[in-house]
Amino acid sequence: MTRPNPIDGALVGQVRELLARREDRSLPQGYVRPAPTVTMQADGDAAGAELLLYDEIGFWGIWAVDVAAALSTVSGPLHVKINSPGGDVFDGIAIFNMLADYPDQVTVTVDSLAASAASFIAMAGDTIRMNRASQMMIHDASGGCRGHAADMRAMAGLLDQLSATIAGIYAARAGGTPEEWRERMLVDGGFGTWYTAEEAVEAGLADELVPLPIAEPEPVDSGQAAARAAAALFPYGADDAGRWRLAALAAPDDQASAPEPPRFTDAASPQAPAEPTPEPTPAPPTAAVEPEPAVEPDPDPWAVSIAHLLEPPTPEGVLASLRRAVL
Please check whether residue 93 is in contact with residue 118, taking contact to mean a CB–CB distance below 8 angstroms.
no
Please check whether residue 164 is in contact with residue 180, taking contact to mean a CB–CB distance below 8 angstroms.
no
Please check whether residue 210 is in contact with residue 132, taking contact to mean a CB–CB distance below 8 angstroms.
yes
- Give the CB-side neighbour count of residue 102, counting CA atoms within 13 A: 32
> How many C-beta atoms lie closer than 10 Å to residue 252's C-beta?
14
Please check whether residue 112 is in contact with residue 131, taking contact to mean a CB–CB distance below 8 angstroms.
yes
**Cα end-to-end span (Å), the chain:** 58
308 catalytic? Reply is no
C-alpha 191/C-alpha 176 separation (Å) is 21
β-bridge partners, 81: 52, 109
Looking at beta carbons, which pairs linking 20-27 to residues 24 or more positions away fall under 8 Å?
A: 22/59, 23/65, 25/59
Give the relative orientation of helices 149-174 and 89-100 as an angle to the nearest 10 degrees.
Answer: 30
- Which of 79, 84, 116, 163 is an active site residue? 116
**82 to each of 18, 43, 59, 115, 187, how far by Cα in Å?**
25, 24, 18, 10, 24
- Which of 79, 84, 119, 139 is an active site residue? 139
> How does DSSP classify residue 263?
-
Q: Dihedral of CA 237/238/244/247: which sign?
A: positive
Q: Which amino acid, 297? A: P
Helix (H) or strand (E) holding 127: strand 127-130
305 catalytic? Reply is no
Give me the active site residues, please. 116, 139
